[in-house]
Amino acid sequence: MRIGASLTSAHPSVDGREGARRMIERTRAARAAGLWCLTVGDHHANRRPYFQNTPILGRLLAEWGDDRPAGCLFLVPLWNPVLMAEQVGTLATLAGEPFIIQTGIGQPADRAAMGTDGRGRGRLLDETIAVVDALLAGERVDSAFFGLTGATVAPLPPGPVEWWIGASSDAGIDRAARVGDCWYAEPGLTVTTAAERMAFYLGRCAHHGRSPVRVPLRRDVLIAETDAEAHRLVAPLLAAGYRGIDPMALAFGSPATVAEQLAAFGPLGFTDIIVRQMAVDHAAVLRSYALLGEVVERLEEP
């Protein structure tokens, strides 16, 4: 399995410049660790510093380079499809291949802030994916749904674009099998629940006559030199009910321990683990990235 990075975009405890600096330093650390892809998130109308997906990724690509894949989450129903395609087309000229589009529908707060109640978001997602896909292929697009006539975008991505459909419900996973290049599995899955969801996803792929290009899994991690040190660092987070995630769905410990935890998903059919560092001290996060290089080496061993 390969390891990629999902970079934390929220930095509520520091001012904007410091938060941006941290994202830049973590990007450098992720590259030095040998991670294969870099992605960032998408949320809207935030009261505390949250760095928006397309401009921050453009800056981070100066550190990440154009020889490895990169991409970002789009809360697709909240985006105009032409604007979204234009952002992807430009970013793809700066990044390696493939360019990764991760999809989501947004939380109620995101939708309310953008003037929508979320009704019809499933159809909005389907319609937007179809239009953006056509625009990125260089087509002139008419869409009665969006009121588009002869829409085009440029520049076009110089290489392939992959749609990673994030989903947890049966309907969402079916959509991933039907219109996505792959299902992007949620971070809260344990090995047991991941096996169940994978079986459902592969069954829907067979139903739709499609094969995923990969099956990535999001995982929150923290790596330290020893298991004891990692447990010390994450104990306050666990006590606070870290993001509502089952502790069994987190990966923390020494490089050997985390490699063993992540390797358990390989036999289930997962091809990639996209890690987000747990919210601890910035210096500890950078150290975790450095130690992640050892995890990469262990997972690449035959």
248 has pLDDT over 90? yes
Whether 222 contacts 288, CB under 8 Å: yes
239 has pLDDT over 90? yes
**pLDDT at residue 47, rounded to an integer:** 80
Mean pLDDT of the chain: 95
pLDDT tens for 193-219 read 999 999 999 999 999 999 999 999 999
186 has pLDDT over 70? yes
More reliable by pLDDT, 208 or 104: 208
How far is residue 80's CA from residue 65's CA, in Å, rounded to a whole number? 28
Q: Which amino acid, 30?
A: A
Whether 210 contacts 196, CB under 8 Å: no
Query: Residue 275, SS3?
Result: strand
276 has pLDDT over 70? yes
**301: confidence class by pLDDT, cuts 50, 70, 90:** low
**pLDDT at residue 104, rounded to an integer:** 87
pLDDT tens for 131-162 read 999 999 999 999 999 999 999 999 999 999 99
What is the percentage of the chain residues whose pLDDT exceeds 70? Answer: 99
pLDDT tens for 24-59 read 999 999 999 999 999 999 988 888 889 999 999 999
**pLDDT at residue 219, rounded to an integer:** 98
73 has pLDDT over 70? yes
Q: Which residues contact 223 (CB under 8 A, 6 or more apart)?
A: 230, 252, 253, 254, 255, 258, 287, 288, 291, 292, 295
**pLDDT at residue 302, rounded to an integer:** 56
142: tokens are: 């008419």
Please compute the mean of the pLDDT values over residues 243-254 and round it to a whole number: 96
